Amino acid sequence: MSFAKCDIQLDRADFSVNAQFTVPAKGVLGIFGHSGSGKTTLLRCLAGLEKNVKGTVEVNGETWLDKKQNLSSQQRNIGYVFQEGRLFPHLTVAKNLEYGARRNPEKNNSVDRVHLIELLNIQRLLKRYPYQLSGGEKQRIAIGRALLKSPQMLLLDEPLASLDENRKQEILPYLEKLHEELHIPILYVSHNIDEMLRLCDDILVMQQGRSVFNGNIHDALISSESTLATVENAVAVIEGSVSKQEKDFNISTVHTVNGNQFQVPGLMAIGKRVRLIVFARDVSLAKSKAAESSILNIIEGKVSAVLDKKGGRVLLQINCNQDIVLSLISIKSYQLLQLSLDKKIYIQVKAVVTHGN
């Protein structure tokens, strides 16, 4: 279900943006592209921060942009978080949060302040000033302030770009919690593919100011229209939940929504929703199921597409009972196995990355 429909055009002397996309009613829409692809400019157009924007923007039945009007940023009920957070340095964390609540146009308090503080784990920070916070803490406060406005959408413009790797890993779990618990759309701008794979349900791919793909993250990784579907970025995303723990081996079993199961490192709570990230380079193929193998995840499937052939390698799409996995093997192996479309095959997954929602 689409919450917003957007057709945005902006022409400048040195750069232009032309993007058509929809925003789902819930979940995270990633806006992905390399530096200079127009990601931030597009977000600013949606937020009403750019002049001379043409096209149409319809949000939840309300027109923000058309030939007759272009609502200002103050008239668009959004929460916007910039790269550097932009907290008020002379206000405590509590006062910064109060500022967000005061900007709530409807005063409807759809976001519970106490729950939000608990969700972002910022209770102990309330009396501090911004100069006393780490980069990751500042971003959590900025997100909290934006949400206390009770916005229709939350826009995050590369919120991790200014953080070092440790701080990124500090804040990512909180973004995952927001993904799971918020009932408003989140638009997340980044040029980092790992962040997209970890957080996003849908994705808008930008290239030189133009939208080249808009759809769910799974399709983005295998569609020829998406710049993500390349040999270099070959990866599949699979959704599932934890069904079993093996404490003696520090292993959890994840059942996918389509009935397959993967054994993954680490102990996770039974019932916990997780996202499995499977890189094509970690998937080998065999014509028969190995009876004795060090590889724990061996699953039956069929070759459903040949996505790419170059540099002596072939990228294959394998359908395992509707769970789509990619495999990158040598062309020699491809020929030796005599693979063809709908050919029965067994995937052997050497490594799986898990992210919890």
What's the 3-state SS for 306-321?
EEEEECCEEEEEEEEC
Q: What is the pTM of this model?
A: 0.86
Return all residues near 144 (Cβ < 8 A) that are at least 6 apart.
97, 100, 116, 117, 120, 122
SS (H, E, C) 55-101: EEEEECCEEEECCCCECCHHHCCEEEECCCCCCCCCCCHHHHHHHHH
Q: How many whole angstroms separate alpha carbon 254 and alpha carbon 183?
A: 26
| Domains observed in the chain | 2-220 (3.40.50.300), 235-356 (2.40.50.100)
How many angstroms separate the CA atoms of 189 and 80, rounded? 11
**From first to last of its 357 residues, what are the pLDDT tens digits of the chain?**
679 999 999 998 888 999 999 999 989 999 998 889 999 999 999 999 998 999 999 999 999 999 999 999 989 999 999 887 789 999 999 999 988 787 775 655 567 888 889 989 999 999 999 999 999 899 999 999 999 988 999 999 999 988 888 888 888 888 988 888 888 899 999 988 889 999 999 999 999 999 999 999 988 887 767 777 666 778 999 999 999 999 999 999 999 999 999 999 999 999 999 999 999 999 999 999 988 889 999 999 999 988 888 889 999 999 999 999 999 999 999 999 999 998 899 999 999 988 875
Residue 323, strand partner residues: 320
Q: What pLDDT score was predicted for residue 124?
A: 94
303-318 tens-digit pLDDT: 998 888 888 999 999 9
Distance from the Cα of residue 30 to its chain's centroid: 5
Distance CA 93, CA 348 (A): 50
Percent of the chain predicted with pLDDT > 90: 65
Q: Are 308 and 231 in contact, with CB atoms under 8 Å apart?
A: yes
Q: What is the pLDDT of residues 97-123, one digit of tens each?
A: 988 787 775 655 567 888 889 989 999
Q: What's the alpha-carbon Rg for the chain, to the nearest Å?
A: 22
Taken as a whole, the chain contains a residue count of: 357
Alpha helices in the chain (DSSP H): 39-47, 93-102, 113-120, 135-147, 165-181, 193-199, 217-220, 331-336
User: What is the DSSP secondary-structure string of 195-222?
Assistant: HHHHH-SEEEEEETTEEEEEEEHHHHTT
CB count within 10 Å of CB 231 equals 17
List C-alpha distances in Å: 308 to 50, 165, 197, 224, 328.
40, 33, 21, 10, 9
Q: What is the DSSP letter of 226?
A: S
The answer to whether 46 touches 20, Cβ cutoff 8 Å, is no
pLDDT, residue 253, reads 96
The Cα angle at residue 174 between residues 169 and 179, in degrees rounded to 5: 120
Q: Which two tokens stand for residue 101?
A: 């609540």
What sign does the CA torsion over 139, 140, 145, 150 have?
positive
Residue whose pair of structure tokens reads 């032309």 in the numeric block: 18
Which two tokens mark 339? 């693979």
Quick one: tokens of 282? 């970690």
